[in-house]
Structure 1
Amino acid sequence: AEMSQYGLRDENQENVQPRKAPLQQAGPQGGRTVLGVLQENRGLRGAQGRGGKQHPVPGMEGLDHESLQSNNSPMDMSIVDEEEKVVSSNAVQDYAEEIHTYLREMEIKCKPKAGYMQKQPDITNNMRAILVDWLVEVGEEYKLQNETLYLAVNYIDRFLSSMSVLRGKLQLVGTAAMLLASKFEEIYPPEVAEFVYITDDTYNKKQVLKMEHLVLKVLSFDLAAPTILQYLNQYFRLHPVASKMESLCM
């Protein structure tokens, strides 16, 4: 059995000695690490593009800052009637027991294999920790929901439970997992091009989309995995704590 173009192989195949790849790779511009420096990309989601030019939203040229901040603006999302606010499924008391039972059933179905990292020939727990730290920064950069990060980590662990990955492709797996989690959880997920950019263009759009497809296939499209955040929400509903404590736990 040979390694695929992604630097991966199925764990069910016979043992294969993969080629070694450095933890840090030089990107297309040279000298860049695999885990890109987000501090250089702070202007990515602002009005400035890569070339420093303004990219106005079509149809918004005639609006100034004050008009966008007006309370009468239909785009002001802070004005939401109480009855229109989304209610968490965990807050529906009548179905709390059924929801908890369902979460426990799905937890068994969607959990990674114990000790899967021991079967990985080219990556370590420390490399996984570096990847997760980078995903935390990505989530902060794009102001993503906490649940998005938890889902992405779940997808990564389940994928690594089934596939051997070379260290040079580990960030690609993490990027695809974060892209999938964003599509699943966020109202306005970042574009694929933005995920390519935050990797310092280590991978191109085609590679990210192909890896996304592979992750979906390996996970059998089971993306609604329970996370610790859902259990915490249930616990805090039954046992309220101070808001500071709740924020620290989440």
Structure 2
Amino acid sequence: MASRDVVPKILPKVVGGGEVKKKNGQADGRNRRALGDIGNLVTVPAVGAKPQTKVSRPVARRFASQLIAKEQEPVQKNKKPLVEVTKGVAARKAVGVPTKAEAIKKDSVKAKADIISVIRPDEDAKTIEEIPLNERKVKKSEKTLTSILTARSKAACGVSNKPKLQIADIDTADVDNHLAAVEYVEDLYKFYKLTEDEHRPGDYMDSQPEINARVRAILVDWLIEAHKRFELRPESLYLTVNIMDRFFSEETLPRRELQLLCISSMLIACKYEEIWAPEVNDFLTITDNAYVRDQILVMEKTILEKLEWYLTVPTPYVFLVRYIKAAGPSDQEMENMTFFLAELGLMNYMTVISYCPSKLAASAVYAARATLNKSPRWTDTLKHHTGYSEEQLMECAKQLVSFHSGAAENKLKAVYRKFSSPDRGAVALLAPARDQLAPSRYRKFWKQDCECVSEIMSAF
């Protein structure tokens, strides 16, 4: 326990109390005062001393003794600072040198960048500890065992911290459209992708003695003209070509019945896709009555038997509609250019046989974006919905662009005339994207491909 403070022997006069009596030369140890003077103690100022500030709170005996002792002490010239520096520069003791507290206050702005002042409370005084920034202990970020194991597990499973793909929701605008079937449209196209190879036509040219690629191109060109004359839906054209190619894969046909197969295939497709399908007499008219009614009906029945009445097949048109929607906001020019390139590919035998419908449709979208200088050429949304990367589509897109470049000189001009009209945006008149799709290292092979295509086109 702290010892009781000893009251000094010499005491000043107290107002209302008089001098303290001495007993045997010693002060009374009890140092009693009248009750009326408690809380109203006023010391008599010495001669020449500064006036004391009035104490408005009750004065304890210990505090009163400190005031009396302070008044009797001589004025100290060099006061010891109450702040002790335990670390850093030694305390200044010279006369006229500012104290540590003043130095810290003066150099606070300068010292902020280099020194951190840590104030620690002590029993007698406050301790200021100055720690340079370069001596601070910074906790290093160490990888934990859990983070290492997690990273290795992701690497083993093929999962990496790649930036999130920016895939747009292309079905948001059709939420209230019941015909869009937003709830299960993704499942529908997954099913189309799985089954598109089951009903693709095979390579039938070797099994058809009287048909070659040039003859087939003439038939498709004529079908496009008839389709335009009847003002049919686009679905009917793609299904007609699919029915014709599938029948060629199953049955050998003489040359005199080729046109009969064309009109019978279109009749079946129109009954399946159109609301108001053309009548049999309408098809007889466009053939200049080269056949009779019964021949068309017999051929229709023969086709359905060979195809086992299976007409619900994913044609390129099914994928074109979805991929154009994934290409971005509604753009009529983009849509016309895509259909123009797709129909050019539909006329070419090797394009239909070599590439599945979904890849042909995706390549048409890619080539159309390149032709119209869309940036970027292939987006994350298109890659997500088509399932093809830009590299996978490059070969087919090159062929479609080559067909575009030779369409004006080609003798079979049904597609070119169709998409040169103002109602189709005259997209066939635009320059092809040959330079964009053929980098410098491919230009030699590109020239050879164009020469081959020109020879084929000239044979038509």
Shorter-chain TM-score: which interval? 0.5 to 0.7
TM-score (structure 1 length as normaliser) = 0.62
Aligned-partner Cα distance in 1 for 2:231–2:206: 33
Which residue in the other structure is 1:106 paired with? Answer: 195
Aligned-partner Cα distance in 1 for 2:177–2:256: 41
Which residue in the other structure is 1:5 paired with? Answer: none
Which amino acid in 2 is paired with 1:101?
Answer: K
Aligned match for 1:187, one of 271, 275, 282? 275
Structure 1 runs (4+) greater than 6 angstroms displaced: none
Aligned-partner Cα distance in 2 for 1:144–1:106: 26
Which amino acid in 1 is paired with 2:305?
Answer: K
Matches within 5 A, 1:176-215: 176-215=264-303
Aligned match for 1:159, one of 243, 247, 250? 247
More deviation, 196-205/100-109 = 100-109
Which residue in the other structure is 2:436 paired with? Answer: none
Using the aligned pairs only, state the percent identity: 38
Which residue in the other structure is 2:185 paired with? Answer: 96
| Partner-residue secondary structure (3-state), 2:252 | strand
TM-score (structure 2 length as normaliser) = 0.34
Aligned-partner Cα distance in 2 for 1:103–1:121: 33
Aligned-partner Cα distance in 2 for 1:243–1:191: 32
Which residue in the other structure is 2:257 paired with? Answer: 169
Q: 1:143 to 1:86 in 2, by over 3 A?
A: farther
Which amino acid in 2 is paired with 1:154?
Answer: N
Which residue in the other structure is 1:117 paired with? Answer: 205
Aligned match for 1:224, one of 308, 312, 317? 312
Which amino acid in 2 is paired with 1:228?
Answer: P
Task: Confirm whether residue 236 of structure 1 aligns to residue 324 of structure 2.
Answer: yes
| Partner-residue secondary structure (3-state), 1:109 | coil
Pairwise CA distance, 1:117: 1.3
Which amino acid in 2 is paired with 1:220?
Answer: E
Q: 1:149 to 1:215 in 2, by over 3 A?
A: same
Pairwise CA distance, 1:86: 8.0
Which residue in the other structure is 1:249 paired with? Answer: 338
Q: 1:220 to 1:238 in 2, by over 3 A?
A: same
Task: Confirm whether residue 150 of structure 1 aligns to residue 238 of structure 2.
Answer: yes
| Partner-residue secondary structure (3-state), 1:202 | coil
Aligned length: 164
Which amino acid in 2 is paired with 1:219?
Answer: L
Pairwise CA distance, 1:240: 1.8
Larger Rg: 2
Which amino acid in 2 is paired with 1:243?
Answer: Q
Which amino acid in 2 is paired with 1:108?
Answer: D
Q: 1:121 to 1:212 in 2, by over 3 A?
A: same
Pairwise CA distance, 1:94: 2.3
Q: 1:227 to 1:86 in 2, by over 3 A?
A: farther
Pairwise CA distance, 1:249: 1.4
Which amino acid in 2 is paired with 1:102?
Answer: F
More deviation, 117-126/176-185 = 117-126
Which amino acid in 2 is paired with 1:200?
Answer: D
Pairwise CA distance, 1:158: 0.3
Q: Deviations 1:128-187 (Å, cap 9, x if unpaired)?
A: 111111110111111001110100000000000011111111111111000000000000
Which amino acid in 2 is paired with 1:194?
Answer: D
Aligned-partner Cα distance in 2 for 1:181–1:127: 21
More deviation, 193-202/102-111 = 102-111
Pairwise CA distance, 1:248: 2.1
Aligned-partner Cα distance in 2 for 1:108–1:151: 15
Aligned-partner Cα distance in 2 for 1:117–1:105: 26
Matches within 5 A, 1:38-57: none
Which amino acid in 2 is paired with 1:235?
Answer: Y
Aligned-partner Cα distance in 2 for 1:164–1:125: 15
Gaps of 5+ in 2: 1-173, 340-460
Aligned-partner Cα distance in 2 for 1:123–1:210: 22
Q: 1:132 to 1:86 in 2, by over 3 A?
A: farther
Q: 1:86 to 1:126 in 2, by over 3 A?
A: farther
Q: Deviations 1:205-235 (Å, cap 9, x if unpaired)?
A: 1000000000000000001111111111111
Higher relative contact order (CA 8 A, sep 6+): 1
Task: Confirm whether residue 126 of structure 1 aligns to residue 229 of structure 2.
Answer: no
Aligned-partner Cα distance in 2 for 1:222–1:86: 28
Which residue in the other structure is 2:71 paired with? Answer: none
Q: Deviations 1:53-103 (Å, cap 9, x if unpaired)?
A: xxxxxxxxxxxxxxxxxxxxxxxxxxxxxx9x9865xx4332122111221
